[in-house]
């Protein structure tokens, strides 16, 4: 009997169906940047937040590939809500922490859509043991701990109510919880090219409420959450590539020149086929990564996720540019969503690990021919 692909499972299909319904109801024109605050509780009500968390912590226990399918399905919305980073960098990381009253309460409120903590962590710090330490530090003081340092590129600060700060204490990273409005926390926003915002978080003797403990190492938990984030970003990029190809094909069918649809010109047919081939290449790598995640876990699947993320970055950028060119001058205007989709693809290349970094990770692990 053949094994079902991740997206074929009934539970995953139900998740994708709910995403398609939200896509049509909340993002009918796909051009609205403003996001009502009511959307986030709806995501929780639909079961998206806890879908892939273990049943032991109150989740639904679906395979992690279900979140990947969800990200791919929602991609045409170009949503500015930090759904992907919240799933991977907040929810998944919290589920890995040891259970206690603080962790259980925060995770329960997160799954209910009542809390949105932001993970404050520089991805480059995963190389800290070899490259000089962590950018954020925790120091003991007379009345507990205080946090110091600056972290750039934090995605989820807008609307968050708490910060999960990764800081070095005596040479070892720890995860500290503090309210977003804590004294000593300074926030600076930067607008990204695709409508989202990223933040610099500066900590000046900020005092955390508590430290979350892990049965394994925090470094391993962070590496797995980062791999999951990369998987979800690659999934969103694949969905955008599919949508761009579909819209480009429709445009070539409808637009006429010299009394003939553009699709009838052989040169344009070849360019459209090349776009389809790019989608197929990323699709194959992503399917392998999803299977590896479900079968062997995030740590083992990390090189395959890296291959999918690198391919989605490189092929997605090229496909997006091709789509804009085939639409002509209108493709770069705000009147058409094509240009905004290209911006999201380029933005996805730069977060969750760059294309070059993921390509290098895959090259280190791939089997030589």
Q: What is the pLDDT of residue 132?
A: 45
Q: pTM of the prediction?
A: 0.93
Q: Which whole number is the average pLDDT over 267-272?
A: 94
Q: What is the pLDDT of residue 131?
A: 43
Rounded-to-integer distance, Cα 39 and Cα 74, Å: 14
Residue 46 pLDDT > 80, yes or no?
yes
Q: What is the pLDDT of residue 133?
A: 55
Q: Which whole number is the average pLDDT over 299-316?
A: 96
Which residue, among 284, 271, 281, 265, has the nearest Cα to 245 in the 3D structure?
Answer: 271
Position 35 confidence tier, pLDDT thresholds 50, 70, 90: low
Position 37 confidence tier, pLDDT thresholds 50, 70, 90: low
- CA–CA distance from 171 to each of 79, 90, 134, 144, 307 (Å)? 38, 23, 8, 18, 32
Position 276 confidence tier, pLDDT thresholds 50, 70, 90: very high
Q: Find the radius of gyration of the CA atoms of the chain.
A: 21
**DSSP E strands: which ranges in the chain?**
117-120, 137-141, 144-154, 162-169, 172-179, 185-191, 197-206, 210-212, 256-257, 260-261
Q: What is the pLDDT of residue 196?
A: 85
Q: Please calculate the CA angle 288-299-349 and round it to the nearest 5 degrees.
A: 65
Residue 355 pLDDT > 90, yes or no?
yes
Residue 107 pLDDT > 50, yes or no?
yes
Walk me through the domains of the chain, giving residue ranges and CATH numbers. 6-111 (1.10.540.10), 117-212 (2.40.110.10), 218-365 (1.20.140.10)
| Chain segment 205-245, per-residue pLDDT in tens | 889 889 999 998 999 999 999 999 999 999 999 999 999 99
Least confident interval from 21-25, 110-114, 330-334:
330-334
Instruction: Report the residue count for the chain.
Output: 369
Q: Between residues 139 and 330, which one has the greater pLDDT? A: 139
Which residue, among 70, 69, 61, 59, has the nearest Cα to 22 in the 3D structure?
Answer: 70
| DSSP tally for the chain: helices H, then strands E | 11, 10
Rounded-to-integer distance, Cα 298 and Cα 304, Å: 10
In terms of C-beta density within 10 A (0-12 exposed, 13-18 middle, 19 or more buried), how is residue 329 classed? exposed
Q: What's the whole-number average pLDDT of the chain?
A: 88
Q: Which whole number is the average pLDDT over 327-345?
A: 84
């Amino acid at each position: 009997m053949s094994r079902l692909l991740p997206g074929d499972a009934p539970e995953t299909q139900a998740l994708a169906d709910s995403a398609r319904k939200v896509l049509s109801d909340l993002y009918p024109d796909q051009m609205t940047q403003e996001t009502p605050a009511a959307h986030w509780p709806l995501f929780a009500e639909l079961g998206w937040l806890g879908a892939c968390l273990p049943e032991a912590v109150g989740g639904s226990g679906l395979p992690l590939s279900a979140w990947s399918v969800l990200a791919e399905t929602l991609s045409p919305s170009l949503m500015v809500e930090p759904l992907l980073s919240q799933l991977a960098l907040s929810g998944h990381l919290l589920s890995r922490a040891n259970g206690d009253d603080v962790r259980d309460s925060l995770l329960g409120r997160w799954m209910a859509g009542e809390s949105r903590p932001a993970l404050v962590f520089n991805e480059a710090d995963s190389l800290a043991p070899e490259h000089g330490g962590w950018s954020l530090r925790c120091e003991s003081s007379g009345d507990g701990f205080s946090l110091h340092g600056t972290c750039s590129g934090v995605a989820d600060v807008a609307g968050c109510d708490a910060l999960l700060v990764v800081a070095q204490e005596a040479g070892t990273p720890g995860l500290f919880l503090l309210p977003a409005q804590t004294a000593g926390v300074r926030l600076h926003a930067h607008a990204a090219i695709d409508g989202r915002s990223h933040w610099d978080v500066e900590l000046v003797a900020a005092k955390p409420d508590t430290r979350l403990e892990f049965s394994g190492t925090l470094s391993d938990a962070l590496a797995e959450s980062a791999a999951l984030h990369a998987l979800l970003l690659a999934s969103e990029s694949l969905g955008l590539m599919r949508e761009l190809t579909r819209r480009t094909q429709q445009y070539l069918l409808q637009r006429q020149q010299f009394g003939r649809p553009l699709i009838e010109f052989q040169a344009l047919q070849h360019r459209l086929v090349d776009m389809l081939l790019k989608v197929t290449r990323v699709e194959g790598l992503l399917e392998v990564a999803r299977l590896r995640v479900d079968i062997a876990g995030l740590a083992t699947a990390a090189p395959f996720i890296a291959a999918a993320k690198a391919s989605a970055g490189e092929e997605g950028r090229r496909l997006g540019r091709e789509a804009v060119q085939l639409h002509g001058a209108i493709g770069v205007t705000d009147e058409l969503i094509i240009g905004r989709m290209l911006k999201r693809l380029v933005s996805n290349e730069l977060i969750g690990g760059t294309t070059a970094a993921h390509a290098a990770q895959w090259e280190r692990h791939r089997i030589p021919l």
